[in-house]
Amino acid sequence: MEKNQTNKSKRTRKKILFNLVGFLGLVLTSISLGVKKFQDYHQDFQTDHFGTRENPAYTVNKSINEQDTETYSSFYGALYEKRIKDLEIALREYKSDPKLKSNLEQLLKQINDEDQRLMEEYQLVFLRNQDNQLNADSENNDSVAKRAKTLFLSMTGKEYPPEIKLRLGRPIINGEEVQGGYQPTKRRITVYPSNFEDTLLSSMHEIGHSIEAHTKDRLFGNHSYEEQLMSEASAYCFQNASCYFEDPKTRKLMLQTHRIELFEDVMLSSRGRKDYRIEAMILSDAATTHFGNPVTAFQYLQKTPYRELDPDILHLMQRNKSIFLRQNQLKTEAENILRAPGN
């Protein structure tokens, strides 16, 4: 468990938009070429790739079957809310009549069994993601890039922008190994190869960055935390949406990886971990719950400024974090009662 957590944290999806080297390169280039050239570049970049914030050049324009959409609220949230209710009742009954301890014991066993099953699934996906690793050779590069571009066409109805290069490699950004990165100034996506489905998911995440409006805002001066958060949340929605355009087998494997990443992020956030990528995953999930599917959520997040976010989405984020925390508190309380001397 400890080992898994250590390994897992090493492979935590760390999507960094701006490679410091790339950014410094842009600054130096703009100085050496002069402001006029930079303005030309600015103009060119604005018009040929992104479109405008109000009218993005690319978006997901195919709908998916909303009944298939799985979110934290629908998967873990529903489970935890039921547990919270059951634990509250069992604890109340035990406190009024300690003879009812066996009910509490039984409930706790049932919860632990469920957690065990979830943990086994988590480990299976984790192990699968460790196995069947792709190499960054040209054959794998071509097969991932080809599949990602086909997926892009299915999602947006448009050909993948040929000026954005997609390749497998080992993205190291500021000395930190990450799963992928999009460098807008180089118009290049680099994805660290894992197994096929995971690599495809990472590719779609970075492609999401290449078409959402927050990337452009950040490239041209808006480096606020909120813009970073919106950019990341948009990319998570795009990766999530992409799963639904795959064949059933690939979809299942991609969705499992996405869900486990989400579960881990809610858990880490509830434990006080501060990281915009974790917040962004929770935000993308809340937006998906709010709209009922990741496609509409992406269309909304890709162009909405943080300050205009629907309050219901912010409320859902808090709620998902707090139900996780609440069920943990109640579970610990029950465990402590049963462990206490005399019990």
Binding site for Zn ion (CB under 5 A): 15, 232, 235
Q: Which is nearer to Zn ion, 93 or 275 (CB)?
A: 275
Q: Which is nearer to Zn ion, 17 or 87 (CB)?
A: 17
Q: Which is nearer to Zn ion, 41 or 276 (CB)?
A: 276
Tell me how far, at minimum, the Cβ of 321 lies from Zn ion, in Å: 21
Tell me how far, at minimum, the Cβ of 159 lies from Zn ion, in Å: 23
Q: Which is nearer to Zn ion, 58 or 94 (CB)?
A: 58
Q: Which is nearer to Zn ion, 178 or 330 (CB)?
A: 178
Q: Which is nearer to Zn ion, 107 or 261 (CB)?
A: 261
Tell me how far, at minimum, the Cβ of 232 lies from Zn ion, in Å: 5
Tell me how far, at minimum, the Cβ of 210 lies from Zn ion, in Å: 11
Tell me how far, at minimum, the Cβ of 335 lies from Zn ion, in Å: 37
Please give the Cα distance from 298 to 287 (Å, whole number): 8
DSSP collapsed to 3 states, the chain? CHHHHHHHHHCCCCEECCCHHHHHHHHHHHHHHHHHHHHHHHHHHHHHHHECCCCECCCCCCCCCHHHCCCHHHHHHHHHHHHHHHHHHHHHHHHHCHHHHHHHHHHHHHHHHHHHHHHHHHHHHHHHHHCCCCCCCHHHHHHHHHHHHHHHHHHHCCCCCCCCEEEECCCEECCEECCEEEECCCCEEEECCCCHHHHHHHHHHHHHHHHCHHHHHHHCCCCCHHHHHHHHHHHHHHHHHHHCCCCHHHHHHHHHHHHHHHHHHHHHHHCCCCCHHHHHHHHHHHHHHHHCCHHHHHHHHCCCCHHHCCHHHHHHHHHHHHHHHHHHHHHHHHHHHHHCCCC
Tell me how far, at minimum, the Cβ of 183 lies from Zn ion, in Å: 12
Q: Which is nearer to Zn ion, 15 or 83 (CB)?
A: 15
Tell me how far, at minimum, the Cβ of 103 lies from Zn ion, in Å: 46
